Amino acid sequence: MQLKNDRLLKALRKQAVDTTPIWIMRQAGRYLPEYKKTRAQANDFLSLCRNADLACEVTLQPLRRFDLDAAILFSDILTIPDAMGLGLYFEAGEGPKFKKVIRSERDVQTLSVPSSGSLDYVYKAVETILSALGGRVPLLGFSGSPWTLATYMVEGGSSKDFRHIKSLLYTQPETLQQLLTLLTEAVTQYLAQQIKTGVHAIQIFDTWGGLLTTPHYLKFSLLYIQKIVETLKASYDIPIILYTKQGNLWLESMAEIGVDCLSLDWTITLEQAQTRVGSKVAIQGNLDPDVLFADSNCIRQAARSVLQQFTGNTGHIFNLGHGISQYVNPDAVKVLVDAVHEYKN
């Protein structure tokens, strides 16, 4: 189906656009009152993800409010570990948890790449969303990176100190590499199926890559992301975005692995990033999400400041430097989206 709005795809390929495209990480979520009603209808978060019609509904909700240039599949990065049998569940105020944790070579040996059938609900959601979009905007698919998925699997959920995954890295590096190799295959198959089902671009979320030292980031995170990218690029002509939170130290290395776009957090300017990676990749980002708690004038000024940092009119996708907060007023998001589209160099 031909897209009515292809700004995002043009920007990812560093082609000229009439205005800077914008989408927002976590654009479908708890800051929207309609999302809260839909989640209550589903009873719990995982049921919401597994119901294609409801996942479609929450994917489309922000597009009804805002003139966004992309939709992103409503799902969770932990679908793969859940399909591996780790027993994903969510506790109020505590985030995701697993009933089973992975902390030894024996634990890793109990795992296998999930069958495609175990993740059919994700692909069904993609089909349902694409049908409902009718070519209005591109649909982004996504996955967590192998390292980021491993952190949750080894920690058993969210963590403040990541002592279990760091301990595994230092004391059993071969075991960690076995886990990462398995996850690399699983993520590759998962993203390939999303692509075959029809997503227009994908983003890899390396949320916890910034925890690592430089040698460890290159060895335990970026290396495996590169394997995923190379495998996908060998079969599919689709743009790939990489987001490593707190990963600005490694931009040059990230730009060399074959991705089309680097998504930045807010701790670097776009000008600095462009100076370092040149035109090798498109740039996504990178407004501080907390700007959305400010008044309208401040939001517009902050948006202009980000836009003015970018040199040229090709290869920039506006986004936040991380996901939107659940406490943001939706009116602030409209101010931001409109400000980005109204900006002219």
Please give the helix or strand (H or E) that residue 88 lies within, else none.
strand 88-91
Q: Does 92 score more than 80 pLDDT? A: no
| pLDDT for the residue 29 | 94
Q: DSSP letter for 207, please.
A: T
Q: Does 1 score more than 90 pLDDT? A: no
Residue pair 25/140 in contact (Cβ under 8 Å)? The answer is no
Work out the pLDDT band at 76, boundaries 50, 70, 90: very high
| pLDDT for the residue 81 | 97
| pLDDT for the residue 122 | 97
- Mean pLDDT for 10-34 is 96
| pLDDT for the residue 270 | 96
Residue 321: closest CA among 297, 298, 288: 288
Q: What is the pLDDT of residues 139-176, one digit of tens each?
A: 999 999 999 999 999 999 889 899 999 999 999 999 99
Work out the pLDDT band at 116, boundaries 50, 70, 90: confident
Phi, psi at residue 305, to the nearest 5°? Answer: -60, -45
Token output for 71: 């939709």
Residue 305, SS3? Answer: helix
| CA–CA gap between residue 328 and residue 214 (Å, rounded) | 34
| pLDDT for the residue 313 | 73
| pLDDT for the residue 344 | 82
Q: Does 215 score more than 80 pLDDT? A: yes
pLDDT averaged over every residue in the chain:
96
Residue 264: closest CA among 304, 314, 340, 316: 316
| CA–CA gap between residue 276 and residue 132 (Å, rounded) | 40
- Mean pLDDT for 231-253 is 97
Peptide bond into 286 cis (omega under 30): yes
| pLDDT for the residue 324 | 97
Residue pair 296/339 in contact (Cβ under 8 Å)? The answer is no
- Mean pLDDT for 255-267 is 97
Residue pair 228/167 in contact (Cβ under 8 Å)? The answer is no
Which positions are annotated as active-site residues?
Answer: 26, 30, 39, 76, 152
Q: What is the pLDDT of residues 36-73, one digit of tens each?
A: 999 999 988 999 999 999 999 999 999 999 999 999 99
Question: Percentage of the chain with pLDDT > 70?
Answer: 99
Q: Does 335 score more than 80 pLDDT? A: yes
Name the more confident of 278 and 241. 241
Residue pair 263/319 in contact (Cβ under 8 Å)? The answer is yes
CB-based contacts of 275, cutoff 8 Å, min separation 6: none
| CA–CA gap between residue 282 and residue 11 (Å, rounded) | 7
| pLDDT for the residue 323 | 96
Cα 12 to chain centroid distance, Å, stands at 15
pTM, entire model: 0.97
| CA–CA gap between residue 260 and residue 13 (Å, rounded) | 7
Q: Does 90 score more than 90 pLDDT? A: no
Is 93 exposed, middle or buried, given 0-12, 13-18 or 19+ CB atoms closer than 10 A? Answer: exposed
